[in-house]
């Protein structure tokens, strides 16, 4: 399925639909050819009524230093710097293709590693968290563990910026109402993902999320990682934490070599974009 068998016919673009804990993706394999995804294509494909629909789009590219490279797009056509659940999904696909249980990949975060566990879940190293205000990035120097915003959120970067609120009950939060304004808060010059998390047990969190450029989603891999980092730094949890998201359960382990994200993956279907759809972009 390399290049979705369309390298010689750019008028047809193949794709996969995948999800990780309900966080859903369109995957386009552009190995062996030039990248095909544009902002206009991402917006059109991301439309759940007129396109395919997704939280993020991932484009697989060739790499000289790893098994493959990945680029990410949000459903509004903006670029994403990281996407943990999409990364896990693509890694599962590549591992099956190569007949291996481990692969390396390159994203904006650098070179990363992923493995498939005995139970079928896929685990990826999302890299080290970005904790300095300039790395997140924020607009000015502030205490990233206690932002000067109502609700006392924390800021953590995981390739994407995150604004994490610890609340008594994440279920009670109106994420759709609060998310848009927080995404565009001036403190975050590149906008931000917004997480609401509550402690439900020892090293066990419940988290809900508003994603930058996508809205409310059932899960967010980089957001889950950022939330666990912030929870540990605030003394709420250890470094290995189970996180219940709207679409399932994810596991985060903050190790010396980076933050590892583990969870289920699913390959739903394959399709081909028609020449008429592509011509209308």
User: What pLDDT sits at residue 6?
Assistant: 42
Catalytic residue chosen out of the listed positions 89, 163, 220, 225:
220
Give yes or no on whether 2-126+265-279 and 154-256 have one common fold: yes
**Predicted local distance difference test score (pLDDT) of residue 267:** 97
Instruction: Residue 160: name the closest of 115, 90, 213, 205 by CA.
Output: 213
Tokens 């000015």 appear where?
A: 140
220 is catalytic: yes
Catalytic residue among 83, 89, 91, 225: 83
Residue ranges per structural domain of the chain:
2-126+265-279, 154-256
pLDDT averaged over the chain?
95
In the predicted structure, residue 65 carries a pLDDT above the cut 70: yes
What is the rounded CA–CA span in Å between residue 70 and residue 73?
A: 10
DSSP-assigned letters across all residues of 176-233? HHHHHHHHT-TT-TT--EEEEEEEEETTEEEEEEEETTTEEES--HHHHHHHHHHHHH
CA distance 94 to 262: 17
Q: Answer whether residue 278 shows pLDDT above 70.
A: yes
Superfamily of domain 154-256: Diaminopimelate Epimerase; Chain A, domain 1 (3.10.310.10)
- The confidence band for 2, taking pLDDT boundaries of 50, 70 and 90, is very low
Mean pLDDT of 210-232: 97
pLDDT-derived band at 44, boundaries 50, 70, 90: very high
Does the domain at residues 2-126+265-279 carry the CATH identifier 3.40.50.970? no
């Amino acid at each position: 399925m390399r290049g979705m068998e369309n390298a010689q016919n750019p008028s047809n673009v193949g794709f996969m639909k995948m999800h990780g804990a309900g966080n859903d993706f369109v995957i386009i394999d552009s190995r062996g050819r030039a990248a095909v995804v544009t902002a206009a294509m991402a917006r059109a494909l991301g439309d759940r009524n007129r396109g395919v629909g997704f939280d993020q789009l991932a484009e697989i590219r060739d790499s000289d230093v790893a098994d493959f490279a990945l680029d990410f797009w949000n459903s509004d056509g903006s670029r994403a710097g990281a996407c943990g659940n999409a990364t896990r999904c693509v890694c599962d696909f590549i591992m099956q293709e190569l007949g291996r249980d481990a692969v390396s990949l390159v994203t904006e975060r650098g070179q990363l590693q992923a493995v498939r566990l005995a139970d079928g879940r896929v685990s990826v190293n999302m890299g080290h968290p970005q904790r300095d205000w300039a790395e997140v990035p924020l607009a000015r120097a502030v205490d990233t563990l206690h932002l000067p915003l109502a609700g006392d959120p924390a800021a953590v970067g995981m390739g994407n910026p995150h604004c994490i609120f610890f609340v008594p009950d994440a279920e009670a939060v109106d994420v759709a109402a609060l998310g848009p304004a927080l995404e565009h808060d001036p403190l975050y010059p590149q906008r931000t993902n917004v997480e609401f998390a509550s402690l439900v047990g020892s090293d066990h969190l419940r988290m809900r999320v508003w994603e930058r450029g996508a809205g409310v989603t059932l899960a967010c891999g980089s957001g889950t990682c950022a939330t666990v980092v912030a929870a540990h730094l605030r003394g709420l949890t250890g470094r290995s934490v189970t996180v219940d998201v709207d679409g399932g359960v994810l596991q985060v382990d903050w190790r010396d070599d980076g933050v590892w994200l583990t969870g289920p993956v699913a390959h739903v279907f394959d399709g081909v974009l028609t020449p008429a759809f592509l011509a209308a972009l």
